[in-house]
């Protein structure tokens, strides 16, 4: 391995390895995290870890490394960034150039979340000789599929244990111990297609969807304002897409809409989505609905390792976005997200991270590790 000389060079190498999530329109033909996982595994081995690839989906492995420890039975601290990035479609810069200019490193994933991953890896490299003597066993996992489906984190918690997970996300080194969840609700109404010159003979699926979305606006969304979290505020809902009809002179026989709900930890209970769907069915009894959920996060800010992160320079906070931390927490593993960079740069068409912030991330993680006695 041609090992990078510093964290900036490490991040450049990571950005230059495409690891675009295949969901939706990735913007290129080659997708998946395999090449990135292989590089990270080799880096971990050079740092002294026992590292292996664990396939989650075809050609999409997690990479898991365990550093040596001088004593068995220690509690396990896990560094856990994700390997995948969002699409490169519409980017205004070369997504894989990893150019450094104006004090910034540019490219897809520079902020979300290869920057935090590089800072974690470099901190582990610089601390590699001290890691065996720490009071915790130190592990690293690079996770696939965080940007869609969270497949890597779900597969990991089904197979491995940990006592605390530090998720790599661009938080400005704040400690995100709670965040909103996401429910993507997909709705379908069906009608009967006829010639538009005699619409009374058919059933217009778009009109049916309009009624459903009217109930959403008039009943469901106002009802969300009665729920509040002292850190995260209120839940939200937004109609993101709507598609219906095939031609202007045909009464549409189907219509599809998708709604993005951002939910609070208090709403993380069985039946929450079903109740919303039943309310919407008051406008359309044969409404079809399916959904995908990413859970909200709540980790007690009084956790002792959060105090260690505070001493390292972070402060506890909440976030409106979701990440893999919630998957770990739901599996009984206390988890937070903390890393260098700003979420404001994530997913942008000219993504970047400040080189100074990247180095501050390394020092932050080193301070955290140094206090794990």
pLDDT for res 214: 98
pLDDT for res 72: 87
pLDDT for res 373: 86
Spatial contact of 26 and 138, defined as CB atoms under 8 Å apart? no
Spatial contact of 129 and 68, defined as CB atoms under 8 Å apart? no
pLDDT for res 78: 98
3-state secondary structure at position 361: helix
Spatial contact of 109 and 147, defined as CB atoms under 8 Å apart? no
Residue 173: burial class (beta carbons within 10 Å; 0-12, 13-18, 19+): buried
pLDDT for res 246: 96
Token code pair at residue 236: 């939200």
- Distances in Å between the Cα of 347 and the Cα atoms of 57, 110, 113, 198 are 23, 10, 10, 47
CA–CA gap between residue 338 and residue 308 (Å, rounded): 12
pLDDT for res 251: 98
Token code pair at residue 265: 């930890």
pLDDT for res 75: 97
pLDDT for res 245: 96
* All domains in the chain, ordered by first residue: 7-179+296-370 (3.40.630.10), 181-294 (3.30.70.360)
Spatial contact of 171 and 337, defined as CB atoms under 8 Å apart? yes
3-state secondary structure at position 50: strand
pLDDT for res 237: 96
pLDDT for res 32: 96
CA angle, 153 as apex, 148 and 159 as ends, to 5°? Answer: 145
Residue at token pair 């080194």: 173
pLDDT for res 236: 95
**DSSP string for residues in 235-275:** -EEEEEEEEE-S-TTB--SEEEEEEEEEE-GGG-STTHHHH
C-alpha 40: how far from its chain's center? 19
CA–CA gap between residue 302 and residue 367 (Å, rounded): 19
- Distances in Å between the Cα of 77 and the Cα atoms of 234, 296, 372 are 32, 21, 9
Spatial contact of 350 and 91, defined as CB atoms under 8 Å apart? yes
Instruction: Walk along the chain (373 residues) in steps of 10 and give the mean pLDDT of each run.
Output: 93 98 93 98 98 97 97 95 97 98 98 98 98 98 96 98 98 98 97 97 98 98 92 96 97 98 93 96 98 95 98 97 96 98 97 98 98 93
pLDDT for res 226: 85
């Amino acid at each position: 391995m041609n090992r990078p000389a510093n964290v900036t060079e490490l991040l450049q190498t990571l950005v230059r390895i495409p690891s675009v999530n295949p969901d939706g329109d990735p913007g290129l033909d080659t997708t998946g995290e395999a090449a990135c996982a292989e590089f990270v595994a080799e880096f971990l081995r050079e740092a002294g870890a026992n590292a292996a690839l664990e396939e989650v989906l075809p050609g999409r492995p997690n990479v898991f490394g365990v550093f040596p420890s001088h004593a068995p039975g220690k509690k396990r601290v896990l560094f856990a960034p994700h390997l995948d990035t969002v699409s490169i479609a519409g980017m205004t810069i070369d997504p894989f150039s990893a150019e450094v200019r104006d004090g910034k490193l540019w490219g897809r994933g520079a902020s979300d979340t290869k920057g935090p991953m590089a800072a974690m890896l470099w901190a582990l490299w610089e601390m590699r000789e001290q890691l065996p003597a720490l009071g915790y066993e130190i592990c690293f996992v690079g996770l696939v599929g965080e940007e869609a489906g969270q497949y890597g984190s779900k597969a990991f918690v089904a197979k491995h244990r940990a006592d605390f997970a530090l998720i790599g996300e661009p938080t400005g080194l704040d400690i995100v111990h709670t965040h909103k969840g996401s429910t993507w609700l997909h709705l379908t109404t069906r009608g009967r297609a006829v010639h538009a010159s005699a619409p009374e003979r058919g059933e217009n699926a778009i009109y049916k969807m309009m009624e459903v979305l009217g109930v959403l606006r008039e009943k469901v969304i106002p009802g969300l304002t009665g729920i509040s979290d002292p850190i995260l505020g209120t839940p939200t809902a937004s109609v993101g897409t709507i598609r219906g009809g095939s031609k202007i002179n045909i009464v549409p026989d189907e219509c599809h809409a998708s709604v993005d709900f951002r939910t609070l930890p208090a709403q993380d209970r069985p039946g929450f989505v079903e109740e919303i769907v039943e309310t919407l069915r008051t406008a359309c009894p044969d409404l079809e609905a399916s959904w995908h959920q990413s859970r909200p996060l709540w980790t007690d800010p009084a956790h002792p390792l959060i105090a260690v992160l505070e001493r390292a320079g972070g402060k506890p906070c909440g976030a409106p976005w979701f990440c893999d931390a919630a998957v770990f927490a739901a599996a009984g593993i206390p988890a937070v997200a903390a890393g260098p960079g700003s979420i404001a740069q994530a997913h942008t068409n000219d993504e970047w991270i400040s080189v100074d912030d990247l180095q501050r991330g390394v020092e932050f993680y080193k301070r955290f590790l140094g206090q794990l006695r």
